[in-house]
Amino acid sequence: MAKLEILEFPDSRLRTVAKLVEVFDAPLARLIEDMYETMYDAPGIGLAATQVNVHQRLLIADVSEDHDTPLTLINPLIREQSGTQISQEGCLSVPGIFADVERAEHIVVEAQDIKGKSWILEAEEMNAVCIQHEIDHLNGKLFVDYLSTLKRDMIRRKLDKQRRLAVGT
């Protein structure tokens, strides 16, 4: 396994709309393994392929504390959604920034597994938030896009400063 580099806002590659996964082969399985290693190491609760500069419709998530509930969704589609919830979100591509975002409370998702077989998943609460956040990544969208332009510019400046400080140390 190998740790992958995570793209950070405002990298324009994060704006790429991912393409459908059509080949379910060993390299795809390896990519998924590497994504889990990268996500658990970060640590984070979700990671979309877009964030590691692979523009295919694939995401992983694990909202458990013990890293024992991995969820891999390939070509995910939200079939139904209901209710609303507001929760504080963060993102490995926007390090150190957290903000409230409104999402559907309950979703039904159709996806394919690592062998290409279709399945249906119902998710709510944090799991539903995480899946919606990661599907946004596959469409080139970030959680900071839900905030005002002013707030987004502030975040951009704060991240620039963090990076300058990191280079200086």
Residues annotated as part of the active site: 134
**What is the total count of residues that contact Ni ion (CB under 5 A)?**
1
Q: How many Å apart are CA 149 and CA 58, to the nearest integer? A: 29
Q: Considering only the stretches 74-82, 87-95, 103-111, 153-161, report the one whose residues sit in contact with Ni ion under the rule CB under 5 A.
A: 87-95
Closest CB 47 distance from Ni ion, rounded Å? 7
In the bound complex, what is the minimum distance in angstroms from residue 12's beta carbon to Ni ion? 16
Tell me the sheet residues that pair with 19: 56
| Interface with Ni ion in residues 88-117 (CB under 5 A) | 91
Q: CA torsion 53→54→56→61, rounded to 10°?
A: -80
Closer to Ni ion at the Cβ: 24 or 37?
A: 37
Of the candidate spans 9-17, 27-35, 83-91, 115-123, the one that interacts with Ni ion by CB under 5 A turns out to be 83-91
Output 51 or 112, the one with its CB closest to Ni ion: 51
Q: Rounded to the nearest whole angstrom, what is the least distance from the CB of residue 74 to Ni ion in the complex?
A: 18
Q: Return d(Cα 75, Cα 110) in angstroms, integer.
A: 8
Opening angle at CA 87, ends 85 and 164, nearest 5: 150
Q: Which residue number places its CB atom closest to Ni ion?
A: 91
Instruction: State which amino acid sits at residue 77.
Output: L
Q: Looking at beta carbons only, is 9 or 75 nearer to Ni ion?
A: 9
CB 123, CB 109: distance < 8 Å: yes
Least CB distance from residue 93 to Ni ion, whole Å?
Answer: 5
Whether the Cβ atoms of residue 21 and residue 56 lie closer than 8 Å to each other: yes
Report the b/e string of 72-89 with b at 16+ CB within 10 A: bbbbbebeeeeeeeeeeb
Is residue 14 within the footprint of Ni ion (CB under 5 A)?
Answer: no
Closer CB to Ni ion, 6 or 21, in the complex: 6
Binding footprint of Ni ion on the chain (CB under 5 A): 91
